[in-house]
Chain A
Amino acid sequence: MAAPAPTLAPSAVAAELRRGSDALGRFTGAIARNRKAAFGLVLLLLLSVVAAAPQLFTGRDPQALLGGSQQLPSGTYWLGTTNTGQDVYSQLIWGTRLTLIITVVAGGLASFVSVVIGVAAAYLGGWTDRLLSLLTDVFLIIPTLPLLIIMAAYLTGAGTDAIILALVVTGWAFSARQLRAQGLSLRTRDFLEAARVRGERPFYIIMVEILPTMTSLIVANFMGLSTYMVATAAGLQYLGLGNTSEVTWGTMLHYAEENGAIFPGGNPFWVLAPGFAVVLMGAAFAFLNYAFDEIGNPALRSFRRRRAKPAA
């Protein structure tokens, strides 16, 4: 027998929101106060710095053949070497850039497509909705991995672009569904009816009245998609798809596996390092995803679920 949490008195809520009277101020305030957001943001910033200026972190050329084959970590080579003597650490650093770019570009494109389709379906309703929902469902049902592999394999020579295309094609549908559901719940808000009654056109209503109120959801959506992109891109590259001559964490995994890095005689850090890096980047996006979900929907904010005891 649980009661719904009593809502804050309006005056209390107003007081809480009063810091930062403009939208940006409130936004940054909300992020700063949310621990998940702060953690994810710091991590992402760190990774972005590494991606933008790898030369700050290593002086070596990642593709240069410098040391012995599959040497373990030492003072010179912090994470050891690859089978051709390349510095694993430098590869990790330099690989950040392309990995991040692929993630963000694929995430952004998939996000865009899912927003357009999801919100249009929710707002326009009727036959448009049925059609778009059908389209979404079809893409959801198609088995992702086989499709990815086939696409990436067929688009030989295109390399990275093929990967991005494959990721977008398989990634947008789930988010579109989510956004449609959220858009539907917004549909009952009176201010949208009010916009119709004053004579606004549907395009205006979607762009100006709906999308801005869904900002947190859209950002959360992007973060969620990016989490998927990081792992899947690495996975595809690990399988040898895309352009294997480029240095990314995924291609590192590919070569490491091919050359038995985890077996005795090999350099396990050649596998562990990029694997861990993928997890780290995925975590950054995942935390930001949770954080923006909470910002957009205060009901999700975590509270310790215990019976309120009187203060000491």
Chain B
Amino acid sequence: MSELPGREQVPPGPGHAGVPRTGAIGGGNGAAPGGDGVAMPALAVHRADGSEPEDGVLLETEGLTRHFQLGGLFSQRTLHAVDDLTITIRPREIVALVGESGSGKSTVARLLARLYKPSRGSIVFRGRPLQSLRSRRDVLWYRSQVPMVFQDPYSSINPVFRVSHGVARNLRLHRRELNARGRRDEMLRVFDAVGLTPATEMLHKFPYEMSGGQRQRVGFAQALALRPRLILADEPVSMLDVSIRAGLLNLMAELREREQVSILYITHDLASARYVADRVLVMYGGHLVESGPTEVVLARPKHPYTQLLLSAVPDPREIVALAAESQDAGEPPKVINPSEGCRFRRRCPMAVEECHRVTPRLRPMGPAHEAACHVATPDTDPAAPPEPATSSHD
């Protein structure tokens, strides 16, 4: 059983030194308009631990909130899609955002992709708040750094053009320093990088000539052509056959190493999150309920929802373990005009009176491990290493 390539236990925390970007052709980002070459006043976001933004943090959100008004002009119904989300993403890490439909995870992706504007709160990318990016140049700069890969391989590529179309447009819009020859080389490079070989042949295919897995790779190729810092991957493998998913997941891990890019991996599948992500963020009903290093969260889940999720994930290799199942019927959370209090309280076996009154905030459970629950108890010895995973059934 070989160890997974390149999955280092990167301890987040103070003083994490970023590694300078290597392996760039043509001087890396420097020549891109609005890239490193543009002199920007560094809006330093000072963290309590004093680390510098460029090294420590790629993107962070503070109290990010997005509400939708439902119904007509006079309706008072507000859908709280995302409430008060505070997360950080560091360079060269894969962060999994896990949640069910209705948890708000897709809305988060769209907020970060600037398809929605936040109702409240802020998003800061490399020290610059997104609200301050007004001019076309600034907007294009951000878009070149934070591209998105979509969920549905059958609707995310325009069927009328060859698959090279999206990559070519990305290069034209964001890498104007390249001439025609340079663009062509770059197209070949990214198709190679995502495993679509021979690249010269693949570039000329139409989407209908490609399988779902290949189309998703095209999506990643399009993103890579920008030399991005952070790829927003919105459920990139959910619509693919199980046998194809492994290939894409391995590709994501590879990209983190080879292209030095971070990935926000949005998914409802905890098992794949475990496979590929360094850190896990669990969302429920628009709130972030737990976050921490993957192995820690899965070994010692603190929030009752995380525990429920963990127990419900089927592993085909485990032979029947139909012990007393929970009575949970899977009812969705109330996110329309919700009242104060924990949104999981109606399904929570451990709910107490406080849970109905006060919305729990994230509090530390261990090193870099937080959960938003009144009832959860932190690990008593924060210095203890994570326990080994429960015994396998292989």
Contacts and interface: CB of A to CB of B under 8 A. Distances in A.
Interface of A: 10, 13-14, 17-18, 21, 23, 188-191, 193-200, 209, 212-213, 215
Contacts of A10: 211
Nearest to B140: A199
Instruction: List the 6 shortest-distance A-B pairs measured between CB atoms, nearest first.
Output: A190-B156, A199-B143, A190-B150, A212-B160, A191-B158, A190-B155
Contact of A21 (B113, B169, B173, B206): B206
Contact of A193 (B150, B166, B211): B150
B150 A198 contact: no
Q: Is the interface of A mostly helix, strand, loop or mixed?
A: helix
A279 B150 CA distance: 49
A178 to B, nearest CB: 20
A23 B160 contact: yes
B243 to A, nearest CB: 14
Interface string B112-136: 0111000000000000000000000
B151 interface: yes
B170 A190 contact: no
Contact of B143 (A21, A191, A198): A198
Nearest to B169: A198
B143 A197 contact: yes
B96 to A, nearest CB: 21
Given A14-B208, A21-B206, A199 B174 contact: yes
Interface in B255-271: none
Contacts of B219: 194
A191 B154 CA distance: 9
B209 interface: yes
A197 B115 contact: yes
Contacts of B173: 198-200
Interface residues of B, number: 30
Contacts of A200: 169, 173
A196 B115 contact: yes
Given A191-B155, A194-B148, A198-B170, 14 more contacts: A18-B209, A189-B155, A191-B156, A191-B157, A191-B166, A193-B115, A194-B150, A194-B222, A197-B113, A198-B166, A200-B169, A200-B173, A212-B160, A212-B161
B215 to A, nearest CB: 11
B139 interface: yes
18 contacts: A14-B208, A21-B206, A188-B155, A189-B155, A191-B155, A191-B156, A191-B157, A194-B150, A194-B156, A194-B222, A197-B143, A197-B147, A198-B222, A199-B140, A199-B143, A212-B158, A212-B161, A215-B160
A99 B194 CA distance: 57
B163 to A, nearest CB: 11
Given A199-B139, A199-B140, A190 B169 contact: no
Contact of A13 (B113, B160, B174, B208): B208
B159 A213 contact: yes
B152 A190 contact: yes
A198 B147 contact: yes
Contacts of A212: 158, 160-161
A23 B207 CA distance: 12
A194 B115 CA distance: 10
A197 B228 CA distance: 13
A202 to B, nearest CB: 13
B32 to A, nearest CB: 13
Contacts of A199: 139-140, 143-144, 173-174
Contact of B158 (A17, A188, A209): A209
A193 B116 CA distance: 11
A273 B166 CA distance: 54
A183 B209 CA distance: 25
B209 A14 contact: yes
Nearest to A17: B208
A198 B223 CA distance: 9
Contacts of A189: 155
Contacts of A209: 158
Contacts of B151: 190
A114 to B, nearest CB: 21
Contacts of B152: 190
A247 to B, nearest CB: 43
Contacts of B208: 13-14, 17
A194 B150 CA distance: 8
A189 B158 CA distance: 9
Contacts of A195: 158, 169
A10 B215 CA distance: 14
